[in-house]
Amino acid sequence: MPTASLPAYLAEDILLHPEKRDFPAFDLVRLLGTVFKPTLGCRVCILTDFDQPAALLKDFAFLNHEGYPIQKKAHEVFYRGLRDGALDELGMSGGEMFAYKITGGSNLDLADEVWDSSGHQLSLEKDIYPVYDLILCVSTFSATAPLTAKCKVHGFRGATLHGLNDVILNSGLAVDYHEVSADAEKLRLAMDRADEIEIDFALEDGRILTAWLGLGGQKAQKSHGLCQGRTPDIANLPAGEVYFVPLDARGHFPMKYEDGTLGVLTVENRNIIKSELIAGNQATIDRHNARLLDDPMTGTLGELGFGTQVLPVSYADIQDEKVLGTCHLATGRDDHLGGDIVPGMFKKHENSTHDDILFAPHKTPNFNLKQVRMKRGTQREVLIENFRPARYLMDALASED
């Protein structure tokens, strides 16, 4: 593995133990000034979510309640940080905080009603989207898909930072996003126009499951954290990902459910058609199969993504899916990624989510990401082995800009 021209954060020992990487102190001005250059003259606001937004945001009542760690970070880091000097340093105005009713699922559309800290009800469509240049959404569930759609209508830029915690603040949001963008581009080029990806999963019982994804030579895309210029766009932070929208998929892959149940998913024609129990609760498998039967779109694969950063585990997928050596699949809507799966295609609105299935050592310790292979024309490359970037990707990172 080449190391001579690699930066220190890609050294062998850091790849094995990313928690040992040295990060600069988090700096709100540096983060926003890098991600959103230019900021001069921009009006900025913060969005967050609550089960009772009118009552909890009024006079910031939630600060006196137990819980709400993400919302408290939104207030402490972004609301207070902007007002305590970042607005002036960046030449911005605003800094208000608004709350909408929690959606209950990843990337579900937001209700239009929103409340300010005085308890007044407002409209996202009339009072927020057309009024603010930059919108920072620090929420429980990701709002990347709905805000991506709305920014194209109203012309704003923004960032989604769902699941924010201290580990993310001190690592994934403390990095230099020029470096993140450069590394993401190197890996994007290394995988660009891939025809096929094959993924082997090794189970504890000795079985090898293989999932095949047809990409059709499409242009690889990247989530790299820079949302510069005046073009409407939404950055998903922390960033650091290369991704594709699968055109076809078949085979099998393992799934670890929230309650720890393990299942094997069977995929045909890009759709998960059934789940079978490996270990755990059969009722969990039965519920998933019933959902697939009731609304088959919930099993459609809408994304294949690869992490590009060296970051410590945060136990929040927004960061952990960006870790080099991991990959993830996602089911459901993918219109925000340039795909063809839109909310109207689902039987029920609450089913029109975009749900990531992350394969990472801490997330899925019951099976190994044995190997990920790429086919591009006559080229054959190994991308990942045993949750580690293979030589091909490390050579790409070591290449000159």
* Each residue's pLDDT tens digit, 280-333: 999 999 999 999 999 999 999 999 999 999 999 999 999 999 999 999 999 989
Asked whether the predicted pLDDT for residue 348 surpasses 90, the reply is no
Half-sphere exposure of 350 (CA within 13 A, CB side): 5
- Specify burial of residue 365 (Cβ count, 10 A radius: 0-12, 13-18, 19+): exposed
Backbone angles phi, psi at 177, to 5 degrees: -75, -10
Q: Contact 267/292 with Cβ under 8 angstroms? A: no
User: In this predicted structure, what is the pLDDT of residue 401?
Assistant: 62
Share of the chain above pLDDT 70, in %: 99
Topology of domain 26-169, CATH: Rossmann fold (3.40.50)
Under the banding of pLDDT at 50, 70 and 90, the label for residue 6 is: confident
Asked whether the predicted pLDDT for residue 1 surpasses 80, the reply is no
Under the banding of pLDDT at 50, 70 and 90, the label for residue 349 is: confident
User: In this predicted structure, what is the pLDDT of residue 28?
Assistant: 98
Helix, strand, coil percentages in the chain from 3-state DSSP, rounded to 5 = 30, 30, 35
DSSP state of 323: B
Q: What is the pTM of this model?
A: 0.94
Q: Contact 146/359 with Cβ under 8 angstroms? A: no
Element (H, E) at 242: strand 241-244
Pick the range with the lowest mean pLDDT from 1-5, 86-90, 209-213, 258-262.
1-5
Q: Contact 60/117 with Cβ under 8 angstroms? A: yes
Q: Give the pairing of strands 248-256 and 327-332.
A: unpaired
Q: Which two tokens stand for residue 250?
A: 């078949």
Q: Give the pairing of strands 43-50 and 354-359.
A: unpaired
Task: Please name the residue ranges forming H helices in 297-347.
Answer: 317-320
Asked whether the predicted pLDDT for residue 345 surpasses 70, the reply is yes
The mean pLDDT value of the chain amounts to 95
Pick the range with the lowest mean pLDDT from 27-31, 65-69, 100-104, 344-348.
344-348
In this predicted model, what pLDDT tens digit does every residue of 351-387 receive, in sequence order?
899 889 999 999 999 999 999 999 999 999 999 999 9
Compute the Cα dihedral for 384, 389, 392, 396 and give only its sign. Answer: positive
Asked whether the predicted pLDDT for residue 3 surpasses 50, the reply is no
User: In this predicted structure, what is the pLDDT of residue 92?
Assistant: 98
User: In this predicted structure, what is the pLDDT of residue 73?
Assistant: 98
* SS3 labels along 256-300: ECCCCCEEEEEEECCEEEEEEEEECCHHHHHHHHHHHHHCHHHHE
Under the banding of pLDDT at 50, 70 and 90, the label for residue 56 is: very high
CB-based contacts of 398, cutoff 8 Å, min separation 6? 2, 3, 4, 5, 6
Domain definitions of the chain by residue range = 26-169, 178-398
In this predicted model, what pLDDT tens digit does every residue of 132-179 receive, in sequence order?
999 999 999 999 999 999 999 999 999 999 999 999 999 999 999 999
Residue 52: other Cβ atoms inside 10 A: 14
